[in-house]
Homo-oligomer: A and B are copies of this chain.
Amino acid sequence: MAGVQVSNLSRSFGAHKALDDVSIDFADGGFYALLGPSGSGKTTLLRQIAGFDFPDSGRIAIGGESVERVPVEKRRIGMVFQNYALFPNMSVGDNVAFGLSVRGEAKATIASEVQHALDLVQLGKLGGRRPHQLSGGQRQRVALARAIVTKPRVLLLDEPLGALDKALRVDMQIELKRIQREIGITTIFVTHDQEEALTMSDRIGILRDGRLVQEGPPEEIYDSPKSEFAATFLGDANIFRGETTGTGIRLPDGTAIAAGAGAALAAGAKASCAVRPERIRIATDSGTSDPNANMLRGQVSKRIFAGNNSTYFVDRGGQTLKVIVQNTGIERLAEGQKVVLRWSPESTVLIATG
């Protein structure tokens, strides 16, 4: 088993820098989530690690050894492609068997391993089908089974569960984690599902325009984003912009917002504060329960139901704030209602701007 070290990797397509001086250390046996907007270079990075494409500069090492001269087939990776890349000329079973069979495993071993992998992705009965006879999600699961059945040392997953419904996705997540733990595969996976990234990974890296923006364990990134981008990209955040006061910031309209975490900044500098919508308590009365709490008044403009929670959009002179409230079955606020928003300084992260 082996960690993956990526150092100062750059790769351009024409004038476009798809990867720009990216360095990440994917720990041996770790589960690493790559996040980033569409076109930020996630797939490009995975392709470099797999060896399909070569960097303009920078180095990649797997298990401590530079892989510059190691061809793809010797890197012992498993990959799920964003477009699946199933072999159209083979049955589902043969697709999954491919990796074992080129390795020359015994027929019986292959058959049982393949059946096991197909069962694992809940396609045990479809081994005889051709890829074009499958639904999108079924194809994706075949791709997943094909990648894991060979027990590679590094697993590169490009949105491996994107086409699956929630229930199945959770099942697959659990399986992936189990496999990864059992045989200690270093797993790097790209996902657009935030919850998936947060719940599954040991560490998260956020890419933007080919650059690594922030990197760390999920809760750290969630609780202490280092930029407005990181704050809003992973999870949601209300952003207030103003000047630092030492303990927080002062908004242009004079309101002071106290912050309990984040960068230490000289007073007077431009800065912003980020507050997670779920940290804000929304109430109709103004009775202060906590004198230290930040407080703002506003008016509910919209409520959006999202299953286990609802989001209230609260207008406050020009700015709309989001507040998430768990749907515990208690009373709802009506649109137009005047409300008071409160949140603690500890829930407020100070971020340097510019």
Contact = CB atoms under 8 A, between A and B. Distances in A.
9 contacts: A37-B167, A38-B140, A39-B138, A167-B232, A219-B305, A277-B308, A278-B327, A324-B326, A329-B343
Contacts of A336: none
Interface stretch (A103-111, A149-157, A193-201, A313-321): A193-201
A87 interface: no
A308 B38 contact: no
A234 interface: yes
A106 to B, nearest CB: 32
B305 A163 contact: no
Q: Please state the number of chain copies in the assembly.
A: 2
A160 interface: no
Given A163-B159, A219-B305, A278-B309, A38 B199 contact: no
A134 B45 CA distance: 14
Contacts of A162: 162-163, 192
B324 A308 contact: yes
A7 B32 CA distance: 47
Contact of A43 (B135, B169, B305): B135
Interface string A328-354: 110000000000000110110000000
A88 interface: no
A241 to B, nearest CB: 18
A344 B309 CA distance: 17
A218 B167 CA distance: 18
A157 B218 CA distance: 32
A195 B308 CA distance: 9
Nearest to A222: B307
A307 B198 contact: yes
Interface in A123-167: 133-138, 140-141, 158-159, 162-167
A136 B83 contact: yes
A233 B168 CA distance: 10
Given A162-B163, A169-B192, A329-B347, A136 B38 contact: yes
Contacts of A246: none
A137 B159 CA distance: 11
B307 A235 contact: yes
- Tell which of A39, A167, A219, A346 has the most Cβ of chain B within 10 Å: A39
